[in-house]
Amino acid sequence: MNSTTNTVEEFNVISDVFSQAITGELVGMSNFASLTDTIDDPHEKMEAVEHANSERIHAEVFTAYAKKAKLKVNINLNGEYWGSVRKQFLSYALQKDFIACLIIQEVMLESFAVSMYTDVGNALGGEAGGLFLSIANEEKEHLEHSSDILREEMRKNPSDFINKFEEIHFKCMTILAQFSATTDLRGHCGVCNDDCMKGSLHHIGLDIVSLRGNAMALYAGALDNIGIPGEKSTVWLAQLPA
Amino acid sequence: MVSATSSINFAVIGHQDNWESIERFVNGLRTSEQEKLPVDKIKNIFPFIPPRVLFKVKVKSITGSEINGIYIDTFISPDRLDTKYSKANIKKVTQAAACAEKEGASIASFGGFTSIILEGNFNFFANNGTKFTTGNTLTAAYIVKGVETAARQCNINLANSKLLILGATGDIGMACVHYFKQKVNQLLLCARNPHRLEKLANRLLVEKVNTKYHASVDEFLPEADIVICVASAIGLNFRECKKNVLICDAGYPRNLGKQINDNPDVRLFHGGMGQVRLGYYFNPDYTNSIYHYPVPGIAHGCILEAMVLAFENKFESYSAGKGNITTDKMEEIYACGLKHGITLAPFHNGNGLWTDQKKSN
């Protein structure tokens, strides 16, 4: 316990929430850094570095708060789920597939980040809540920026683009769906300090069903925004693990 | 703005009213290698999905013309088809309407509960390129035509009958009241809102219509010869019904069948339904899971209203607001439907077609 939490349970779950957020930001930072190698355009390259730096700053801001609040933070970029997503990202980065990297980092991961940070921010309130909400707003810009690029890509060749998106969806969203299911479908994440935090979220006024549902809803909205037909995206969503 | 190159003539905005069909639908989308999801897991996913196009629809008229449409599901949970969830439901319906416009639909109808939520108030969409209709006029037309036809089949003389209308002050309920007020012996009116009910009944009494009204349906059920239910009705005591009472269930959700529990003294049909003689075709075809009827071509009147208006190139808010459905408009849209081979549906309920309908279908 510390001065900002009332119970041991609350302290533990907030510690785990910060652990996940910091790990996620560092995965994002690493992804954007890897993305720079896939880009030839110097301006786009600089922008990717800038995004990597913005994720680094987010990780630092979360870390600074966690330190001040004496939270028990565990960072693990190689955990079961974060490590798998990173591996998928790298497989596309190695092929210099900028569009695939954008889809993973800026659509899939950012949809989850924006939605979950918003829910966590609203639930926590105070300084910690404000932190999550302001970072959610910044991540939202990444999501919107990528949608413009991907819409243009979709316009060029809708069929090829949809096929490519579908392949990435099943490779990456399957991992995120397993990660956010009511029970960890692939075992412990390697980030939570003790047992999975999902069963303890009620201590801070949250529940995994709403967190996951809202994140999936934002992702579905992002697909609509890019122009993926609803007939397709509905099937993609229905085929995810639950 | 509606796209100038749009090939979408109409859109239908709807929802599912039971988890069984949603379970069939979701699991039907999963591959054979994927585990089937139980309803409790589906409940954790389905209501969060934003409104979207589920399938395209092609409809053929007997005149030879063909129209293309889309079905947009609101993904409103069947557990939340209640006015107490209005705020969240209005948000979903509004998103679905935006989806219809984005897809370039010329006309869109609000199916089932989605029109109840808006109560026909389309001010939200005043500046849209897409025109919206509740579809209530054709639904009401199929209810009244259905009751007249079924009464004839059941040897019930309308002029000697007492007609009970549950949900009498709603948009469709009022349309039924005005249609039947000079055709039956007595109107028995029920509605949840006593103030509106009294106001309606007083108007009818001024017109010298033989009318009784009560907030509780139990008062009237034992004396009714015909019942039209256009409201969600739970806990009705059908043991007290007259022998051979004719019941038209047109409420959302349709829940009278389970309450009647195969009482042989009751003849129940699902009202407000029409049939496209040349059929409609879904792509992808989900008719085995979410729009499954005993014979092909059956659809809700509200959905068919959008199709009829599209066939007629009549892109206007044909049914809007509350209490604006006139008998003339019901006759007009019903006749327009007939021109295109869109007719009253054969009588059916949860157990399938009425026995005497099976021969002709």
What CATH code would you report for B140-273+349-358?
Answer: 3.40.50.720
B227 touches chain A (CB under 8 A): no
Q: Where do the structural domains in chain B lie, given as residue ranges?
A: 10-137+274-348, 140-273+349-358
Rounded to a whole number of angstroms, the distance from the CA of B46 to the nearest CA of chain A is 9
pLDDT(B5) > 60: no
Chain B's closest residue to A214, CA to CA, is B48
Nearest to B171 by CA among B120, B123, B227: B120
Touching check for B99 and chain A: CB below 8 Å? yes
Which residue from A1, A16, A10, A14 is spatially nearest to A76, judged by alpha carbons? A16
Q: What is the Cα–Cα distance from A232 to A162, expressed in whole angstroms?
A: 9
Q: Which residue has the higher pLDDT, B257 or B131?
A: B131
Q: What is the pLDDT of residue B361?
A: 56
DSSP string of B19-46, one letter each residue: HHHHHHHHHHHS-TTSPPPPHHHHTTTG
Nearest alpha-carbon partner for B63 in B250, B278, B253, B258 = B278
A94 close to B (CB below 8 A): no
Q: How far apart are CA B326 and CA B314, in angstroms?
A: 18
Task: Write the residue in A213, A229, A239 that is nearest to B29 by C-beta.
Answer: A239
Least trusted range by pLDDT, from A130-134, B119-123, B235-239: B119-123
**Confidence at residue B218, expressed as pLDDT on a 0 to 100 scale:** 85
Q: Is B71 an 8 Å CB contact of chain A? A: no
Of B39-53, B171-185, B205-219, B226-240, the range with the lowest mean pLDDT is: B226-240
Closest of B321, B274, B331, B12 to residue B170, by C-alpha: B321
Which chain B residue shows the shortest CA-CA distance from A242? B41
Average pLDDT over residues A5-17: 90
CA separation for the pair B58, B70 (Å, rounded): 9
Residue A199 has pLDDT above 60, yes or no: yes
Query: Is B44's CB within 8 Å of A221's CB?
Result: no
Contacts of B68 (CB under 8 A, 6+ apart): B7, B8, B9, B56, B57, B58
Partner-chain contact B30 A239, CB within 8 Å: yes
Contact of B56 with chain A, judged by CB distance below 8 Å, is answered with: yes
* Residue whose C-alpha is closest to residue A76's, from A89, A67, A62, A86: A86
Query: Poorest-confidence range of A45-54, A183-192, B265-274, B307-316?
Result: A183-192
pLDDT at B358: 58
Residue with tokens 């256009």: B230
Mean pLDDT, all residues of chain A: 93
Q: What is the mean pLDDT of residues A122-138?
A: 96
Residue among A213, A220, A229 minimizing CB distance to B53: A229
Residue B271 in this model has a pLDDT that exceeds 80: yes
More confident residue, B6 or A203: A203
Query: CB of A151 within 8 Å of any CB in chain B?
Result: no
Asked if the model's pLDDT at residue A159 lies above 70, the reply is yes
Does A225 touch chain B if contact means CB atoms closer than 8 Å?
Answer: no
The pLDDT, as a whole number, for residue B1 is: 39
CA angle A32, A34, A37 (to 5 degrees): 115
Taking an 8 Å cut-off on Cβ atoms, the answer to whether A231 and B53 are in contact is yes
Alpha carbon A75 to chain centroid, angstroms: 15
Domains assigned to chain A? 8-238 (1.20.1260.10)
Chain B contact for A230, CB < 8 A?
yes
Helices assigned H by DSSP within chain B: 19-29, 39-42, 86-102, 113-118, 136-153, 171-180, 194-206, 256-260, 301-311, 327-339, 355-358
Determine the distance in angstroms separating the CA of A174 from the nearest CA of chain B, rounded to an integer. Answer: 12
Tokens of B311: 């066939």
Write down the pTM of the prediction.
Answer: 0.89
Nearest to A216 among B34, B41, B48 (CB): B48
Alpha-carbon gap: B95 to the closest alpha carbon of chain A (Å):
11
Report pLDDT for B118. Answer: 67
**DSSP secondary structure code for residue B47 in this structure:** G
